[in-house]
Structure 1
Amino acid sequence: MVGAGATGGAFGSLLHEDGRDVTYLVRTHRAERLRREGLRFVSPSGDRTHQVQVLTTGEAAEAFDLVIVTVKASALPTAIEDVRPYVGRDTVILPVLNGMAHMDRLEEAFPGQTVGGLAKIVATLDEGTVRQMTELTTLTVGPWTAAALPTAVTDALRVPGIDLTVSDDVAGAMWEKWVFIAAGGVVTCLFRGPVGATIEAGGLPRILEAISELEAVADAAGHPVSASGHAQSVTLLTQPGSAFTTSLYRDLIAGNPTEAEHILGDLARRARLLGVPTPLLDLTLIQVRSDAIQRWNAEAALPTG
C-alpha cells in the first residue's frame, strides 16, 4: 500500500482485518509513528488500532504481488521511484487516484503491469488517525491493457467492508468519476464557496453549465457519462443550502498543494485536443493558477536568513 493516508489507511485496514498481508510504503516520519503507535482506524463499524508492517524508501524487501497506489497526484512521480525496487516481473499495480493522467505515467514506468481502478470513500487523516465518516467504501477494478485482470487480484481485494466491482469498462467508470470531481472543483473553486452559497447567489444556471460542458468532454473522448452518473452530479451539486465542497477547494483555501493540474488541467488539455469548448473550466484554471502564482511569489519574497 503506497501511502497510509485516508484512502490507503482505510482500505489497508479492511484488507488487514481479513488476514491479507499488508505492508505500507510511507515517509520516514509516518513510518516512525506507525511503528510506535500502530494505525488507528475509526469507521462506522468501530474504533481499532492495528500494528502494521511498514517500509520506507531504500529498505530491503522482496517484490510484492500487488501494489495499491493511494497517494495524491502531486506525490506520484516520487512514489513511482520509491516503489520501483519492490516491483517484480509479476507485480500488479493498482492506482486509485482521481483523473486519468496517472495511468499514462504508471504504464510508462511499469508497462503492462497496471490495472484500472477507482475508489469511493469519505475519509480523512486526522492527527495520524484514519477516520471514515460514512459506510461508503467501494472499489472498482478492471483490466487496462489487453491482458485479463488476474483472478488473484480480485480474490485479494474481496473482503468484508469493501464493496468490490470488477468492470469490463473501468476506463468509463474512471472518466465518470473524473467528470464529477472536476465539476465539483469548478463549482467550488471558481465561485469560492460551498454549493448552497453559490445557488443562493444565483449560480444554479452556471452549475448546470459546468456539468454539461465537462460531460461533453467525456462524450467526445468516447466515455459518455451514464444517466445515473449525470443524475448523481446534478443531485449533489444543485442542492439548496448544501455545505458540499471538494478537497480541491479545501486545499486551495488552506494554501496546500492541490491536484488542480491533474484533475482540471489535464481535462482542459484533452478538451482542447478534442475541440470541446470548456469556458467555465478554463476560468477556474486561471483562478487556481493565479492563486498558486501569488503564493509562490509571496514565499519567494520571504527573507532566507
Structure 2
Amino acid sequence: MRCLVLGAGAVGGYVGGRLAEAGAEVTFLVRPARAAALAARGLRLRSPFGDADLPVRTVTAEALGPGHDLVLLACKAYDLDAAIAALRPAVDGRTAILPVLNGLSHLAALDAAFGRAAVLGGLAKIQARLDEEGVVHHLNDWRWLGFGERDAADSPRLRAIAAAFAPCRGLVAEAVPDIAQRMWEKLVHLGTAALGTVLMRAPVGAIVRAGGAPFLHALLDRHATLAARQGHPMPEAFLAEYRALFSDPASAYATSMLRDIEAGRRSEGEHVLGFLREALAAAGMETGWHDLALLHVRAQEQRRAG
C-alpha cells in the first residue's frame, strides 16, 4: 500500500512512522526544512511501546503527484483549507482519504473538495507531541486509530488498510463498522471537556473541586441529547464512563484546546465548539454555554492577533 502522510508532526509522524516501520510504502508531505531534517536524522519516535529511528521518504509540495492508495490527514482543523490545497495533486480515483481531525466539520469540506466516496471516517486516540528537535514523543498508552466507510460496514479498501496496519507495533488500528457513531461519541466527550475546561480555564479536577461536576454532567447530557437527535444515541456504558471522568476531583485532564489558548496559540474552538453551537441551534436546543465559550475563544483570538 502506498500511503501519503500530510506532515510529520505529532500524530501524523507517529502513525506514519509506525506504518513505515511495519513495511508499508509511506511518504511524508513536508516543507523543505523538515525534509532536510528528516533526510539528515530520520524520523525519530520515542514511545513506551518502543523507540524507532527510521529513514523515511519525503516529498515537497512542488514535486507531489498522484498514485497514492491512502492519504492520512492529521492536521489541526484550522489548517484544513491549506491541507486540501496541498493534497489536490496527490488525489486520484484510487485514493482514500483518512482524516483524523477533531470534530465533524472537516467532513463537509473534504467531501466538497474530493467527493464523498473518497473520504473515510476516522478518529485517533493518541497523545503525542513534537519537540523542538523534531522528535515525536508518544506520551502514554493511548495508541488507537479507528477508520471506516461512512456509508457501509465494510469494503475491500478497508480490509487493505487494516492489513497494512496489522503489523504495526505501538498502534492498534481497527476498521470499525459504525465509524459515524464512534465519531459522535468522541465529539460528545471532547465537546464537553473542551467547553468546560476552556470556559473555566481549568482542568477537570479543579472544576470538580470547585463544585462544577453538575455543570460538566449537564454539558455531557446536552451533547448526548444532540447526538441522539442526529441518530447517534450514546450507550449507557459510555455515559457512565464519562460521568465518572467528569466527577473525579483528582483528574488532571485538560484539553489541547485549553493548552493552546493558555500558550497563546490558535485553537480549534471554532471547529469543535462552533460546530456544536450551530448543531444545537438547528435542533432548537439551548446554546447559552456555547455562546459564552465561543465568545471566550474569539476574544482570545483577537488578543493573540493583536
TM range (shorter): over 0.9
Residue 136 of structure 1 aligns with an amino acid whose one-letter code is: W
Post-superposition offset of 1:146: 5.3
CA shift in 2, pair 1:100/1:179, >3 Å: same
Any stretches of 5+ residues in structure 1 without a counterpart?
A: 299-305
Q: Secondary structure at the match of 2:183?
A: helix
The range that moved more, 27-36 or 4-13, is: 27-36
Structure 2: distance between partners of 1:270 and 1:35? 45
Q: Which amino acid aligns with 2:20?
A: H
Q: Name the SS of the counterpart of 1:93 in structure 2.
A: strand
1:32-51 aligned within 5 A: 32-51=36-55
Mapped partners of 2:70, 2:298: distance in 1: 36
CA contact (8 A) 1:63 1:85 kept: no
Give the one of 110, 118, 124 matched to 2:123. 118
Matches within 5 A, 1:130-209: 130-145=136-151, 148-149=154-155, 150=157, 151-161=159-169, 162-209=171-218
Q: 1:115·1:145 contact (CA, 8 Å) conserved in 2? A: no
User: Which of 257, 269, 277 is the equivalent residue of 2:266?
Assistant: 257
Which residue is equivalent to 1:302?
Answer: none
Match of 2:11 among 2, 7, 32: 7
Measure how far apart 1:236 and its partner are: 2.4
CA distances 1:198-228 after superposition (whole Å, capped 9, x unpaired): 1222212211111111112111111112223
- What is the TM-score when the length of structure 1 is the normalising length? 0.92
Cα separation, 2, equivalents of 1:159 and 1:227: 33
Q: TM-score, normalised by structure 2?
A: 0.92
Query: Which letter does structure 2 place at the counterpart of 1:154?
Result: A
Structure 1 position 90 matched with structure 2 position 94: yes
What's the CA shift string for 1:71-101, capped at 9, x where partnerless? 1111111111111111111111111111111
Aligned Cα root-mean-square deviation (Å)? 1.6
Give yes or no for contact 2:152–2:177 (8 Å, CA) kept in 1: no
| SS of corresponding position for 1:117 | strand
1:62 positional shift: 3.9
Does the 8 A contact of 2:73 with 2:101 survive in 1? yes
How many residue pairs end up in the alignment? 297
Give the Cα–Cα distance (whole angstroms) in 2 for the partners of residues 44 and 230 of structure 1: 29
Does residue 111 of structure 2 align to residue 102 of structure 1? no
Instruction: Go from structure 1 to structure 2 and tell me whether the alpha carbon gap of 1:287 and 1:62 turns closer, same or farther (over 3 Å shift).
Output: closer
Q: What residue number does 1:237 align with?
A: 246
Partners of 1:261 and 1:93 in 2: CA distance: 23
Question: Gaps (5+ residues) in structure 2?
Answer: none
SS at 2:6's partner residue? coil
Query: How far apart in 1 are the matches of 2:292 and 2:110?
Result: 30
Work out the CA distance in 1 between the residues paired with 2:112 and 2:204.
Answer: 38
Check the 8 A contact 1:210/1:281 in 2, yes or no.
no
For residue 301 of structure 1, what is the aligned residue in structure 2?
none
Equivalent in the alignment of 1:25: 29
> Which amino acid letter does the alignment assign opposite residue 181 of structure 2?
G
When residues 147 and 59 of structure 1 are mapped into structure 2, their CA distance, relative to the original with a 3 A threshold, is farther
Q: CA deviation at 1:147?
A: 9.0
- For residue 134 of structure 1, give the secondary structure of its aligned residue in structure 2: strand
Match of 1:276 in 2: 285
The question of whether the paired residues in 2 share the 8 Å contact of 1:67 and 1:92 is answered with: yes
Deviation at 1:133, TM superposition (A): 1.4
